[in-house]
Structure 1
Amino acid sequence: MAASDTAHAVAAATLPRHVAIIMDGNGRWAKKRHLPRLAGHKMGVEAVRKVTRAARAMGIEALTLYAFSSENWRRPEEEVGDLMGLLRHFIKSDLAELVSENVRLRVIGDYRRFSTDTVALIDDAMARTGSNTGPLLVIALNYGSQAELARAAQELARRARDGEMAVEAIDADAIDGLLETHDLPPLDLLIRTSGEQRLSNFLLWQAAYAELLFVDTLWPDFNAETLAEAIAAFGRRQRRFGGL
């Protein structure tokens, strides 16, 4: 095997199947430049385009992006409106590319709390990419991991109460099967930008054995190169999953 072939094989062996990103730092990016927060969010959307394209080129099967948390409603009404406007613009402007690139768009979280026109855009985008067979682009909208786990627990409790399953049958697989990510590849790598080192109620269950990587780069500055650096760092990790 040639050296280049060996390098390619090693790279493929260490490539994460599923990467998730907490996209943090838009506001700080704008503040450093004495710009309004909206300017940071607009550049954050550009970063989404760069990173999703780079992830596809690398062969990553699933990319999950934390776009709007269930706690983000606490932000000023004007900023929430700006974020919703950017979301609608992204869908309208980028859907054709997702379709042509064979990308499957998924949304996790209670996005139906958004405005009727936004929900319609999301539903249409998922429908138009639903038959694609390529990589998954998963957007977390109005998502909170604790609420997701609570819903799973409530459903399992209902099934046990109604005699549909034994209490003893409630295990990790039963919980996992009721999460919105149940049909995604296991989460391999979770990245948070901007230097913050917390999960912020994102994929708490799914991250149990994921590699965590906290980088100082503000999200608008995150690009194909910084993603490649993160993937390289993942490749240097030794994943034991509790073993030796």
Structure 2
Amino acid sequence: MAVQRLPTLFQIAVDLVILTIRDDRLHVLQVVRGKDPFLGGRALPGGFVRLPEGLEATALRELTEETGLDGSTLHLEQLRTYIAADRDPRGPVASVAYLAIAPNLPTPVAGTDAARAHWEPLDDAGRTADPLAFDHDQILVDGLERARAKLEFTPVAAAFCGSTFTMTELRRVYEIVWGVPLDPPNFHRKITGTSGFVVETDAHRALGAGRPARLYRRGTAKSLHPPLLRP
């Protein structure tokens, strides 16, 4: 006689990989947990879904509650779902992870569940100085790889910039996220040769003692043809 197995009930949580560029380095938003499990440990911001709210609504709420940041101003997309039964010591918890990208975000302010929120720089391999709670190290690795791949096939690099930017500023986004130097003339030729990626403006910005650099803004393209592949 076959043994009947009862279904395992998972709680649903949302975790956020929030990337920005500060001081010419790639940073990820971290919180110091204010309660168990992993009290005092570092983690990505996140929390449980409260029905009837949806997943994205949970992501935006948790971002505000734990860090004080307004998620509606970020590039936000769903990353993947993590469902290993042992990923959370409280029991079966499935996490739907989101990737968020924005330019030079302000210093976050910790909220209800976090003792502290801060920007943590990533090393060249995309790691933080200390291990993260739960399986958040893996979520961070996956989020960074998604961001690197998105830079190849979409104009999302402009999400790391302000409303207008120089070609040098855009190139630095690619160099920082990919972790490789790029040839400036070749980069300029590829960007301006990709239909709809950037739009040239009439404004300029002074960069040091040299000639002011022309400013660009993001175009209407949703994908890059041809893609801008990593070296």
* Same fold? TM cut 0.5: no
TM range (shorter): under 0.3
Normalized per residue, which structure has more helix? Answer: 1
| TM-score when normalising by structure 2 | 0.22
Normalized per residue, which structure has more strand? Answer: 2
Larger RCO, structures 1/2 (Cα 8 Å, 6+ apart): 1
| TM-score when normalising by structure 1 | 0.22
The structure number with the bigger radius of gyration is: 2
